[in-house]
Structure 1
Amino acid sequence: MPLILRLALRELRGGLSGFGVFLACISLGVAAIAGIASVSRSLSDGLGREGRRIIGGDLSYSLINREATEQERAVLGKEGRLDIIASLRAMAVAPGGDATLVELKAVDPATYPAAGELVTDPPGDLAGLLGVKDGVPGALADPALLTRLDLKPGDRITLAGHPLTVRGTIQSEPDKIAGGIGFGPRLIVSQEALRGTGLVQPGSLSRWSYRVQLPPGAALDVVEARVRQGAPEAGWQVRSRANADPRFAQSIERFTQFLTLVGLTALIVGGVGVANAVHAFVERKRGAIATLKSIGAPGSTVVTLYLTQVMLIAGLGTLIGLALGASLPFLVEALFSESLPLPLNPTIAPGELALAAAYGLLTAFAFAITPLGRAHDVPVSGLFRDTVDPARVAPRRRYRLWLGTSILLLVGLSVATSFDRRVAMIFIAASGIAFGLLHLVALGLMAGARRLPHPKWAAPRMALANLHRPGALTPTIVLSLGLGVTLLVALSLIDANVRRTISATLPAKAPNLFFLDIPSRETGPFRDYLRAQAPSGKIEEVPMMRGRIVALNGVPVRKIRPPEDAAWVLDGDRGITYADTVPEGTKVEEGRWWDAGEGAGHLVSFEGDLARMLGLKLGDTVTVNVLGRDVTATIFNLRKVEWRNLGINFVMVFSPGTFKGAPHSDLATLSLPGGPDAATENRILRGVAKEFPSVTSVRVKDALDAVGDLVGRLVLAIRGASGVAILASLLVLGGAVAAGHRARLYDAVVLKVLGASRSRLLSAYALEYAALGLATALFGLIAGSAAGWVIVAKVMHLDFQLDLSGALIAAGAAVLLAILLGLAGTVRILGQKPAPYLREL
């Protein structure tokens, strides 16, 4: 081994000519995986480091729709200092009558914020900014609220008919992430001001968070156990500084896995470029290989020597990729620190970098061993004669075993390190199928070209022969270009369907306006008001409460491991209602609806698909915590719910007897016959804010815009990661042309000696690359459409529509690119003088 290493290093002194694509492919793939993993780790570390600031303390106990009782507050108060936060949605009304939805947060100025810093403009004492002056409480507003209502600091707004003075704007809010996605700008008031508005009523949709600041040295798990024992029936939602936002952390892991798989796709696509580069490398070294064999070097020594060189170059590419990937979190922090809504803790992540390095080196080895292994048994005479009579030698069994082992290691690594192993296995299977199909496409194209009748014209005849000749570029170009086109088409269809669902399909079916927190006593007058304002509109209304599932069939939810698609039902609070009849837009699948007598008992109708995923059936029991009380009901029927129409839908609909006498508010929707109508919607919003100030109005378009903005950012991240894979495909395509340089060079020399003109040769090559591009683009359209359908329909559960407008543009661009790259690689060849090459024949 020392001798082999010394020889390998000596040969590398000549430089890395011919390994540009090799280095770029490995570097790109490793950089993508390392960068994605490093940013993910930085986000996770940021959440861990900033956990206390995010939740506003060491522990946070939240309740929905109710405040903690004196006894529950006493239990929390024994553990440390309490900071109480109330959050809800409300309508802020400007002096001119314009109204908008706000995310209202009520704080205690004496204790908030307990962790982090609230930055305001102008800066000042929070008690002074929110205190009462001239009989009017103060408020702090998100700058977006002032822009939306055309206000400035010092102006007044009203909440539920009660005036507030905007004393400043919020520049930085330490616990903003804890509030989740907001559908309106933030407005901060004191709790005294909130109570003065009358917005807090029994059944109103509000969240009360009790943040505990523990004394130094207090153990989180011990405190949690004491609180659980002291208030076992409270129904808290608990978060700690060590796990500030578990759902968000899981989302980071899921999205990181998806982007990592895209990065791995780039690396695998780049592996084709590695194979091309190694094949060309072996061609260039055939003289040296023949010399080594002629002086007695065994084939295994030759293979080990050049494998060492290849892996040293792969190591260099991996180091370049690791450096780029490791720097990505610091680059993101430097460029976007002011606009990042999440805490980012840029760090060097050794484990993630080691994983990316393992991916890179394994990929390089897997794609290099086969072309290197073929040189083991080629005789010296065959190596010298290889230019004009390429040898077809299958690699020995040992090299095939090494190839299989490296592939198994790659598969095992991707599965073992994935967040969702099922997704990883699907990705691996899809990659294998894609490679297999593309190989079949290449073989079919070559077989078809071989059997077609020979054209009379010289250029088409040469192009047809080039498709199936020994050493043809057909397999490599079809593989590299096919993967790129498939990825482009799939992304185009996913993007088009997601945006169509959000911007077109949903608004056409969804209500125009939602109205929350309608006091039960005002339901009748409110309904009459809407009918007067929109006589032809459709009004739906239901009682609305919030509850949390605490047990299924008596088993606490903390002991249940639900499937991924149903976990959200058991995580956090859910909207619930009760009804005498089957809700509109739903259909009973199993069982029947209760009659008046049965409805007096404790029964529940559960959404069918979710029930089956949770293992529930008719007769099972569900226990929910509502307003601090556990209520157990029996599943009486299962029903199908159409979620995507954004109507009033619930996972659980209870019988009227279950919550008889429980305080609640109502939820209503208004659907206008003509679809979205901004003028009518704004008029109704202003009227409701004036006539029913305690009612919260939500315009569906605004909510969809917020969701669409979030989806757009996710799609942008996916496009960025996928762009690396597509760039790798282009590099491989260019590398494939370069790999065939030597064979094409001798072809051009011989043909020019026989009288072929440059224009005729260019025509032949253009026809060849056009045929390859068209065949590959057709495959990419079919395979990409199938992949897009699976992801949209089966993974995202959205309606799929085959919109090939963007996909056809992508496929056409790929064909044009194949022709241009192919011709660019041959122009230099056609300019070579024949004499130096004829001497070697």
Structure 2
Amino acid sequence: MSPAVTLALRELRADVKQGFRGFRIFLACLALGVATIAAAGELTEAVKAGLRADARLLLGGDLAVSQMYRPLDDDARQYLESVGRISTHLEMRAMVRSDSGARTLVELKAVDQAYPLAGQLRLNPKDASLFADMNEGFFALADPGLLARLGIQTGDSVVLGSARLHIVGVIDHEPDKVASPFQLGPRLLVSWEGLQASGLMMPGSIERYVTRLSLPNQSDAAKVRAQLEQRFPKAHWRIRGLDEAAPGLKRFLDNLSLFLTLTGLAGLLVGGIGVANAVKSHLDTRARSIAILKSVGAGNNQIFAIYGIEVLTLAVLGILLGLGLGLLIPLAVLDVASQALPVRLIAGVYPEPLIKAALAGLLVALAFGIGPLAGVGGTSPAAALRALVVRPPLKQRILNLLPALPFALALALLVVQTSSNRMLALWFVVASVLSLFLFRLLAYLMAQLARMISRHTRAAGLRLALGQLFRPGSPAPSVVVSLGIGLAVLTTLAQIESNLRHQIEDRLPDEAPAFFFIDIQPNQKDAFIAAAKEHQARDIRLAPMIRGRVTMLKGTPAEEVRIDPSARWALDGDRGFSSAAVMPDGTQLLAGSWWDEAYRGPALVSLDARLAKGLGLTVGDRVGVDVLGRAIEAEVSSLRDIDWSAASMNFAFLFSPGTLEGAPYTFLATAKADAQQEDDIERAVTDALPNVSVIRVRNALESVKGVLEGAGVALAVMAAATLPAGGLVLAGAVAASLRRRVYESVVLKVLGADRPTLFRAYLLEFLFLGLATTLLAGAIGTLAAFGILDSMMNMTWRFLPLSSLGLLLFGLVVTLLAGHLITSRALAAKAAPYLRNE
């Protein structure tokens, strides 16, 4: 065994005997960050395992074929029937009303007797059925929320269009509900006969037909899918297999996992400062041992090896502790997560998240710990034996950091390559590096300013406080960076959450329409306007709408084009298309020009500018769409800046007049109204036009408020991961300076300084630190929130200082408390022992 390894083992043995004194914060910082990343990954994998295990139940079969406006052609249906059992249902939105006149929007689902092919539809009472014989009317099964909204119960009846439906049961569990699109209302299940009797199936009505297939042998699903695509190459339906049973939920999980992982990495990066502080502090306490080793001939490489082995071993211990916690946390929250998610969680040990968390922890330990280790040879034995704090020259400090560069780059590569959204992960890496630089620059500028001011002040207490900020070994850089990054992250989230809340609670109720009306038939336009105006509806706007799919981009099939992830939604499924002769009010063209009102030439389209950028399109490019089997190719004539946050009627794809002629379109309408008139307007429109569905924006905003509550939870999660890490680093930084501060206090007392003067000076030092850190953190967090809201979320940003003021005050208070604690301990030390040793 080499001498370096032998000495490293002796150091480790001493650490164990002392209860890892000096390395407790080191271990805690690593363990906390690794645990957050590991727990996020394990929890996500547990949900994905549940998705894979229950994919057939969630999809409702082995394959699902869906398309808008019409069911499968007979040839396709006959082929599916030849290979397995099928069930077809229709989904649409509609209005139902009770005998008392109460009415609400529902998610209507018409099913056949084969439904469900997979899973179980659990009802109350258990023997309720849509298909029992009845002399008058039809049956329906309702979500409990529907009964509550209408004030009815099982056995009562509701009116759907022209049909009266008797509620014969309540839906306790709908097996394939998670596979349905975003829902604006409670579920109402009816039979096909009941739907046909309602008269709601009109040309252009927004209807989604889904045919599920159950195969005798599930392994044949891929072959059947290939056969479908080969036999019907021109069909523009969407086929989903078991790997796409719940794509929306999967995207949500990927985003949640990414958020939690980046949260853990933020905490780990903050903890990295604590790692560097702990290593440096440990090396300072071993200064005499290092000096003796140098005096007897030990080289810098040998000393680096001794303490490098010690630090690396302790880093592995911290990582193992974090992995253990990361495995326990999902078990602790399993029940809560199972209730919050529509799928079961399968607990287990999933190696991939653990490996990722361990690698991240190891790379952080190496990136932040190798700098102090590299500088271990920079202090002469004489200075170390005299306990002098010697600041290496700038060139030497830069050289000490160079060995950390490969590990930092490897960490950045790990974060980006393993992320579900690489662009967001890359922005996170850039923001992290920039934040570290800015806060380190702040610490440097603060030290220089303190040096300058101290030369021009005679107040002893102030000069002493300022001197603490620029003296060698000052904890200021560590405090500023660790506390500042945590506060900046939380300020960013707080500003985003408060802007969203302001948008929903303050701006939208004033600017947004009160209603959206869908499925207005072309021959109902005048009747709709008359019914809406009967109760003072105002600013009524109508636009033709039909749904279709984007099939070609610049002559290339859409599925083969690499696009920005932010624009993926435009190619996933059907989109709403419209046409207009006159440019809509408030339109701002960023490129190109609008067509003439009387234009009847080749097809043109105006696109949302941000979407066009994500799709790689500009003015002059060509876009292909499919509308009910009709292929349309249009040239991009203009790009529009659309403020989607205003919740007004807008279309990402707006075609020139005549492009959509002949297609069975319906009208989409918006209207504004006073709150006290909303019930009357809804009643008048739905009484006159039973097929028209009404979406109240006020109700939709209530749903969005629930999302905002989730954002508040996200803020709490982020705080739980970053603030403890920042607190640990802050504690470590001030604790590391305790020995030096005690020594200085003793010297100053001997020279005549009284305790109150020293106390005020030291506390003033931490006040300066806290103020500078919180102000910069607030500025960086606010700028980051502006960038995210303006560039990524396409929302109007507003500075709302009160949302982050509490966080910044909290940071200031924490800094002052840390200063009070360390100052009290330093001033409590007796002078005699130190004077005898010197």
Secondary structure at the aligned position of 1:764 is classed as helix
Shift in Å, 1:271: 0.8
Give per-residue Cα distances to partners, 1:112-152, cap 9 Å, x unaligned. 22122222222225xx2553545232222222222222222
- Tell me if 1:185 matches 2:189: no
Which residue pairs with 2:83 in the alignment?
79
Secondary structure at the aligned position of 1:66 is classed as coil
Where do residues 588-603 of structure 1 align in structure 2 (5 Å cutoff)? Answer: 589-596=591-598, 598=600, 602-603=603-604
Where do residues 355-370 of structure 1 align in structure 2 (5 Å cutoff)? Answer: 355-370=356-371
Which residue pairs with 1:513 in the alignment?
515
Select 2:823's aligned residue among 818, 822, 826.
826
Amino acid aligned to 1:628: G
Give per-residue Cα distances to partners, 1:574-616, cap 9 Å, x unaligned. 11223343344435652442454616x6544444443454344
TM-score of the two chains, using structure 2 as the length reference? 0.94
After the TM superposition, which of the residue ranges 576-585 and 363-372 deviates more from structure 2? 576-585
Which residue pairs with 1:802 in the alignment?
799
For residues 582 and 447 of structure 1, do their structure 2 counterparts lie closer, same or farther at Cα, with a shift above 3 Å needed? closer
The 1-side partners of 2:618 and 2:730 are apart by 55
Q: Is the 8 A contact 1:84 1:208 kept in 2?
A: yes
For residues 260 and 136 of structure 1, do their structure 2 counterparts lie closer, same or farther at Cα, with a shift above 3 Å needed? same
Select 1:111's aligned residue among 98, 110, 114.
114
Which residue pairs with 1:773 in the alignment?
770
Which residue pairs with 1:437 in the alignment?
438
Shift in Å, 1:301: 2.4
Q: Is the 8 A contact 1:57 1:115 kept in 2?
A: yes
The 2-side partners of 1:473 and 1:396 are apart by 17
Q: Is the 8 A contact 2:15 2:21 kept in 1?
A: no
Shift in Å, 1:715: 4.8
Secondary structure at the aligned position of 2:240 is classed as strand
Which residue pairs with 1:206 in the alignment?
207
After the TM superposition, which of the residue ranges 48-57 and 601-610 deviates more from structure 2? 601-610
Q: Is the 8 A contact 1:460 1:764 kept in 2?
A: yes
Which residue pairs with 2:575 in the alignment?
574
Give per-residue Cα distances to partners, 1:474-531, cap 9 Å, x unaligned. 2122212222232232222111112222332233222111111123332222211112
For residues 411 and 642 of structure 1, do their structure 2 counterparts lie closer, same or farther at Cα, with a shift above 3 Å needed? closer
Shift in Å, 1:433: 2.0
Please, which runs of 5 or more residues in structure 2 have no aligned partner?
none
The 1-side partners of 2:610 and 2:392 are apart by 56
Secondary structure at the aligned position of 1:658 is classed as coil
For residues 160 and 270 of structure 1, do their structure 2 counterparts lie closer, same or farther at Cα, with a shift above 3 Å needed? same
- Tell me if 1:60 matches 2:85: no
Q: Is the 8 A contact 2:644 2:795 kept in 1?
A: no
The 2-side partners of 1:790 and 1:606 are apart by 23
Q: Is the 8 A contact 1:259 1:718 kept in 2?
A: no
Shift in Å, 1:757: 3.5
Secondary structure at the aligned position of 1:801 is classed as coil
- Tell me if 1:702 matches 2:699: yes
Q: Is the 8 A contact 1:370 1:395 kept in 2?
A: no
Shift in Å, 1:743: 0.3
Select 1:472's aligned residue among 467, 471, 474.
474
Where do residues 306-321 of structure 1 align in structure 2 (5 Å cutoff)? Answer: 306-321=307-322
Secondary structure at the aligned position of 1:463 is classed as helix
Which residue pairs with 2:156 in the alignment?
155
Which residue pairs with 2:418 in the alignment?
417
Which residue pairs with 2:547 in the alignment?
546
Shift in Å, 1:195: 1.6
Amino acid aligned to 1:151: I
The 2-side partners of 1:124 and 1:143 are apart by 17
Amino acid aligned to 2:468: N
Q: Is the 8 A contact 1:273 1:731 kept in 2?
A: yes
Shift in Å, 1:240: 0.7
Which residue pairs with 2:323 in the alignment?
322
The 2-side partners of 1:390 and 1:643 are apart by 58
Which residue pairs with 1:266 in the alignment?
267
Secondary structure at the aligned position of 1:737 is classed as helix
Q: Is the 8 A contact 1:75 1:230 kept in 2?
A: no
The 2-side partners of 1:160 and 1:43 are apart by 40
Give per-residue Cα distances to partners, 1:800-831, cap 9 Å, x unaligned. 11111122332222112111111112222322
Which residue pairs with 2:198 in the alignment?
197
Secondary structure at the aligned position of 1:657 is classed as coil
Q: How large is the Cα RMSD of the aligned pairs? A: 2.5
Secondary structure at the aligned position of 1:668 is classed as strand
The 1-side partners of 2:683 and 2:75 are apart by 42
Secondary structure at the aligned position of 1:470 is classed as coil
The 1-side partners of 2:76 and 2:657 are apart by 29
For residues 197 and 772 of structure 1, do their structure 2 counterparts lie closer, same or farther at Cα, with a shift above 3 Å needed? same
- Tell me if 1:92 matches 2:93: no
The 2-side partners of 1:548 and 1:377 are apart by 66
The 2-side partners of 1:791 and 1:637 are apart by 25
For residues 622 and 266 of structure 1, do their structure 2 counterparts lie closer, same or farther at Cα, with a shift above 3 Å needed? same
The 2-side partners of 1:182 and 1:55 are apart by 17
Secondary structure at the aligned position of 1:577 is classed as strand
Select 1:481's aligned residue among 480, 483, 494.
483
Shift in Å, 1:354: 0.8
Which residue pairs with 1:495 in the alignment?
497
Shift in Å, 1:769: 0.5
After the TM superposition, which of the residue ranges 110-119 and 93-102 deviates more from structure 2? 110-119
The 2-side partners of 1:633 and 1:291 are apart by 81
Q: In the comparison of the two structures, how many residue pairs are matched?
A: 831
The 2-side partners of 1:339 and 1:418 are apart by 24
Select 2:24's aligned residue among 20, 27, 42.
20
Give per-residue Cα distances to partners, 1:318-365, cap 9 Å, x unaligned. 112112222333333222323323443333221111111111111112
For residues 5 and 191 of structure 1, do their structure 2 counterparts lie closer, same or farther at Cα, with a shift above 3 Å needed? farther
The 2-side partners of 1:603 and 1:782 are apart by 45
Amino acid aligned to 1:507: P
Please, which runs of 5 or more residues in structure 1 have no aligned partner?
none
Q: Is the 8 A contact 2:552 2:625 kept in 1?
A: yes
Give per-residue Cα distances to partners, 1:711-742, cap 9 Å, x unaligned. 43245235403431122111111111101010
Which residue pairs with 2:172 in the alignment?
171
Which residue pairs with 1:34 in the alignment?
38
Q: Is the 8 A contact 1:489 1:781 kept in 2?
A: yes
Give per-residue Cα distances to partners, 1:379-410, cap 9 Å, x unaligned. 43332212x45464786998544322222221
Amino acid aligned to 2:313: L
Amino acid aligned to 1:155: D
Amino acid aligned to 1:22: F
Amino acid aligned to 2:103: A
For residues 808 and 606 of structure 1, do their structure 2 counterparts lie closer, same or farther at Cα, with a shift above 3 Å needed? closer
The 1-side partners of 2:437 and 2:552 are apart by 48
The 1-side partners of 2:604 and 2:132 are apart by 48
The 1-side partners of 2:297 and 2:610 are apart by 70
Q: Is the 8 A contact 1:303 1:373 kept in 2?
A: yes
Q: Is the 8 A contact 1:90 1:101 kept in 2?
A: yes
Q: Is the 8 A contact 1:586 1:642 kept in 2?
A: no
Shift in Å, 1:241: 0.5
Q: Is the 8 A contact 1:585 1:641 kept in 2?
A: no
The 1-side partners of 2:720 and 2:796 are apart by 26
For residues 219 and 807 of structure 1, do their structure 2 counterparts lie closer, same or farther at Cα, with a shift above 3 Å needed? same
Q: Is the 8 A contact 1:32 1:721 kept in 2?
A: no
Which residue pairs with 1:463 in the alignment?
465
- Tell me if 1:745 matches 2:742: yes
For residues 575 and 756 of structure 1, do their structure 2 counterparts lie closer, same or farther at Cα, with a shift above 3 Å needed? same
For residues 435 and 520 of structure 1, do their structure 2 counterparts lie closer, same or farther at Cα, with a shift above 3 Å needed? same
The 2-side partners of 1:360 and 1:173 are apart by 43
- Identity rate, percent: 38
Where do residues 355-434 of structure 1 align in structure 2 (5 Å cutoff)? Answer: 355-386=356-387, 388-390=388-390, 392=392, 400-434=401-435
Q: Is the 8 A contact 1:65 1:205 kept in 2?
A: yes
Q: Is the 8 A contact 2:162 2:199 kept in 1?
A: no
